[in-house]
A and B are shown apart, each in its own frame.
Chain A
């Protein structure tokens, strides 16, 4: 089980487990000797570690849905403002918490904008230039991604691009693992259909 080795002032070490997490241990910076022992510096030290670990992950996750780096930074910043406010040093939040809050922020943005079009454009950017994809594969992928509904898009991003397991995805989405598998299977079916259609046309 993953956990957090937290060095506190006046305390040798303290292991704090992320609830249900398989994340590796995080190394915290060495504390300043003689620093005060109240919560504020402890929280700041812990927060820096969480920020350094998860800021790139959250930005990357948001960038899967939004093709505007400034807006990606703004949304990620909101997530980390919330994290600072809610951080309890005795129970630090893990990656799944950050992704869930990011998804809430994204939904908030998407409710106000042309969400589907924007998400598709963001998800398919750079695909044609990818060296890993044959042009027909890229075309099939683009069309498959266009046919996904919002929940399928979320599952694809969390599974393939955030690299989460089905259990972790189900935790982020607050749904059952079976529902995640079903959704993922539907998404795969859509891609399979596009690939086979392209193959038949070729």
Chain B
């Protein structure tokens, strides 16, 4: 027997997990919130927790971004706000995707790549946002994250080079209080407080099913777009330095998801030759790009751009992360 559309509509409506009656009236705390918003004294808890605009930022690092290097007012005119972001990378010579992937595979098949290890070194920059304070911080930093189930985790953050020389610093941007190379933060997390999905912590070897499971445990849906998948890959790479074989699988998974386009060749912000692949996620206001090393075929960077201003964040490059840099 066929079920009518009316029946289907009735069932969907009956399944409402948030019935209107339960949300009908304002509570005292809602009214207090309303008045506090008007007075400008409200600080949403989640906003206080959130530090990075880029969801793929290393979780361990994210908690430390509270350390300010440069502070800029978000109320600056938009033109000036844009000047505070790094310029987008310029690409040329966009070859067919299949060629790019084939070259990456060839490079990854050469011996000499790293073993899988629970130590990750990154250079990151990103808007660090405090919505309640309406402020952004511009934070270039090197982070070394090491962990083990027995010993817990350690995160050491070292100041990178400022984005501006003293004589070309935009108005409204404070001097960095740190010298390049200065340790900003050194934090250890005991094993009982080091919490991550088991499928991530137990990842071992170049097995596609295991990588898929680890990504799913990080919130990547089965039918993920390439954009969603890249966010998950970024999170996975914040826990592990992966082998060449694992990198090859991740690149295949990315390409098999919809919407990957070749931007072309460029040099990343450390001057390494890379190929940029733009991923897509229709549901996201961000435009993400993965950078694949032209030498090793490994995933060595991600760039994150906001396509249009969101809240008080200006459009433009809002974050980047690079992996595989030499030890500092």
Interface residues of A (CB under 8 A from B): 44, 47-48, 51-52, 55-57, 59-61, 63-64, 67, 70-71, 74-75, 77-78, 80-82, 84-85, 104, 107-116, 122-127, 130, 132-133, 137-138, 140-141, 145, 149-151, 156, 159-161, 187-188, 191-192, 195-196, 199
Contact = CB atoms under 8 A, between A and B. Distances in A.
B11 A141 contact: yes
B310 A161 contact: no
Nearest to B217: A114
Contacts, number: 144
B112 interface: no
B30 interface: yes
A61 B44 CA distance: 18
12 contacts: A48-B34, A52-B26, A60-B18, A63-B18, A64-B18, A80-B37, A81-B42, A84-B38, A130-B14, A140-B11, A191-B8, A196-B3
A48 B31 CA distance: 9
B28 interface: no
Please indicate which of the listed interface residues B3, B18, B34, B231 has the most CB atoms of chain A within 10 Å of its own CB: B18
B258 to A, nearest CB: 12
Given A81-B37, A85-B312, A114-B218, A71 B5 contact: no
Contacts of A138: 15
Interface string B295-315: 000000000000000111000
A132 B221 contact: no
A81 B47 contact: yes
A44 B38 contact: yes
B47 to A, nearest CB: 6
Contacts of B38: 44, 47-48, 84
Contacts of A80: 33-34, 37
Instruction: List the 9 closest pairs (A to B, CB-CB), nearest first.
Output: A111-B55, A63-B18, A74-B46, A132-B14, A60-B23, A160-B12, A77-B44, A56-B23, A116-B221
A112 B17 contact: no
Given A59-B23, A78-B131, A81-B44, A114 B15 contact: no
Contacts of B20: 56, 60
Contacts of A52: 26, 34
Contacts of A44: 38
A5 to B, nearest CB: 21
Contacts of A85: 134, 311-312
A51 B231 contact: no
Contacts of A110: 219
A56 B25 contact: yes
A84 B283 contact: no
B3 A192 contact: yes
B40 to A, nearest CB: 8
B98 interface: no
Nearest to A161: B16
B283 A71 contact: no
B209 interface: no
Contacts of B311: 82, 85
Contacts of B219: 110-116
A122 B22 CA distance: 15
Contact of A160 (B5, B16, B223, B284): B16
Given A78-B46, A191-B11, A196-B2, 19 more contacts: A44-B38, A47-B37, A56-B20, A56-B25, A57-B23, A64-B17, A75-B46, A80-B34, A82-B311, A110-B219, A111-B55, A111-B284, A112-B55, A112-B219, A114-B197, A133-B11, A137-B14, A159-B12, A199-B1
Nearest to A134: B11
B13 interface: yes
Contacts of A78: 44, 46-47, 131
A114 B30 CA distance: 28
Nearest to A200: B1
Contacts of B16: 64, 160-161
A149 B222 CA distance: 9
Interface in B177-223: 197, 216-219, 221-223
